[in-house]
């Protein structure tokens, strides 16, 4: 499961508002006993909705992430040009849950700090964007999912799910996957420096030639749906990177 570094679990939890009921006269008495209490009505209605929703999820929904039911037939292997990769040793069906992407959950600020210190010797480093300025860094505490390579024509995709009010990311098959076929997903990020982008070697007919596609400078306003971010600057670029982030007030990768 995820390890939270400098942030709390990202959720969309329900927050109750104060009602207008009078406090009890004695400490051993219960408050909000009036049938007209707004919070009582809201809680009752919410409970009904939760029961119905739980029934739907239990019978029709996908509980694999919640129950940590990762597909166990995964194997890492050396690829010809992309380092280590991951393949399934048994077939996968389209839409099937494969594995949760886990690691250290942290703020973008903490990840930027790591990029300039712990990961400064790395030419390419990746993380997944979770929600609201929070990312998942799978480098130290991740599982085999962090080794899954990029493809411009992938057979899998990362999906963000709300599990018990907390956002988590899972890998799902986009189509049927044959045994020993490499698993890939589209990293779908925008690179900061188009001149130092990593060359894509996926070999697909619609290959964009670089991992990530367009530069961040060309599309800084269009980041919806981008899950994966990378940092691949030259040594000279790194010195000016943090100050540029502060100046722009955003996380550019």
At residue 111 the predicted structure's pLDDT band, cuts being 50, 70 and 90, is confident
Asked if residue 32 is part of any domain, the answer here is no
Asked if residue 24 is part of any domain, the answer here is no
Asked if residue 50 is part of any domain, the answer here is no
Asked if residue 5 is part of any domain, the answer here is no
What pLDDT is stored for residue 241 in this prediction?
46
Domain of 181 in residue numbering reads as 74-248
Neighbours of 116 (CB within 10 A): 14
d(CA 40, CA 32): 7
Highest mean pLDDT pick, 28-32, 150-154, 192-196: 150-154
Asked if residue 8 is part of any domain, the answer here is no
Task: Count the domains in the chain.
Answer: 1
Q: What is the DSSP string of 45-81?
A: HHHHHHHHHHHHHHHHS--TTTTT---S-EEEEE-SS
Asked if residue 213 is part of any domain, the answer here is yes
What pLDDT is stored for residue 189 in this prediction?
64
Q: What CATH number is associated with residue 142? A: 2.170.270.10
Calculate ∠ Cα 242-148-88, nearest 5°.
170
Asked if residue 52 is part of any domain, the answer here is no
Q: What's the whole-model pTM score?
A: 0.62
pLDDT at 73 over 90: yes
């Amino acid at each position: 499961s995820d390890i939270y570094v400098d942030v709390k679990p990202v959720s969309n939890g329900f927050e109750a508002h104060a009602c207008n009921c009078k406090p009890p006269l004695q400490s051993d008495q219960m408050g909000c006993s009036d049938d007209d209490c707004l919070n009582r009505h809201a809680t009752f209605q919410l409970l009904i909705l939760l029961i119905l929703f739980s029934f739907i999820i239990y019978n029709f929904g996908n509980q694999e992430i919640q129950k940590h039911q990762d597909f166990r037939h995964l194997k890492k292997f050396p690829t010809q040009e992309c380092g280590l990769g991951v393949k399934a040793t048994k077939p996968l069906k389209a839409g099937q849950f494969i594995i949760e992407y886990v690691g250290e959950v942290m703020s973008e600020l903490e990840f930027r700090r790591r990029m300039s210190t712990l990961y400064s010797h790395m030419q390419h480093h990746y993380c997944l964007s979770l929600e609201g300025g929070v990312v998942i860094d799978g480098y130290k505490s991740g599982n085999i999912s962090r080794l899954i390579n990029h493809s411009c024509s992938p057979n899998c995709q990362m999906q963000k799910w709300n599990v018990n009010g907390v956002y988590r990311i899972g890998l799902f098959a986009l189509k049927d996957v044959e045994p020993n076929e490499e698993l890939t997903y589209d990293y779908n990020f925008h690179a900061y420096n188009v001149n130092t982008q990593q060359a894509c070697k996926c070999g697909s007919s619609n290959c964009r030639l670089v991992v990530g596609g367009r530069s961040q400078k060309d599309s800084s306003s269009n980041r919806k749906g981008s899950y994966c971010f990378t940092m691949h600057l030259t040594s000279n670029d790194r010195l000016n990177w943090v100050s540029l982030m502060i100046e722009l007030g955003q996380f550019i990768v």
